[in-house]
Amino acid sequence: MAIKLKLLRTQAGMTLEELAQAADLTRSYVSKVERGLANPSIGVALKLAEALKLPVDELFGQPSPTSPVTITRGAQSRAKRQDKGSPRLVAGKAPGQQLVAFVLQPGREKGVKHVKSHHEGEELIYVLSGEVCLELDDKTEDLVAGDCVHFNASVPHRLICTGAAPAEVLLVISGAATAQ
């Protein structure tokens, strides 16, 4: 339970002190439980579960299909068809996850065929290789390998490869657009 309690607490965004107060326990005792130095009674486990707003079996259970840790192996993230520009989903496959991440190669087309996108949530673009232009509603930004941009995804935007070589970017989307 030690490792699971700490993981659940951090996922809930709670400090050790906040969890202890919410469960009506001492910080020292909760710390000992997290480190495996104390075994909580069922009553204490119920208090901890209530403070974390989780069913008590979540404190003791083994990782389930809704485990907070998801690993996508490289072979699993490859696009089924290696079409130029086909995005590869690299994270965000499990229900309830708040982030979805893709690796993609932006195309070179502009105009009507390549309309600007917009959606709820946030977007983060990290250029892995090449050169791209991010066209936003009111400005454009030239980006090269190593550049990163984070913005409100409700702003109309599109990404276009501008270099001689194909570009590759990591695109991470959070918020309502990722609801499953």
Cα–Cα distance, 134 to 35 (Å, whole number) = 47
- Side chain identity at 3, as an amino acid letter? I
Cα–Cα distance, 26 to 164 (Å, whole number) = 62
Pair (155, 79) in one structural domain: yes
Pair (131, 153) in one structural domain: yes
User: Does the residue 66 lie in any domain?
Assistant: no
Under DSSP, the state recorded for 177 is G
pLDDT profile of the chain (180 residues), mean per 10: 77 91 93 84 78 76 56 56 56 66 81 66 92 90 94 88 92 61
Helices and strands, counts by H and E, the chain: 6, 8
Pair (85, 152) in one structural domain: yes
CB 70 within 8 A of CB 94: yes
Pair (82, 45) in one structural domain: no
How many structural domains are present in the chain?
A: 2
For 10, the domain range is: 2-60
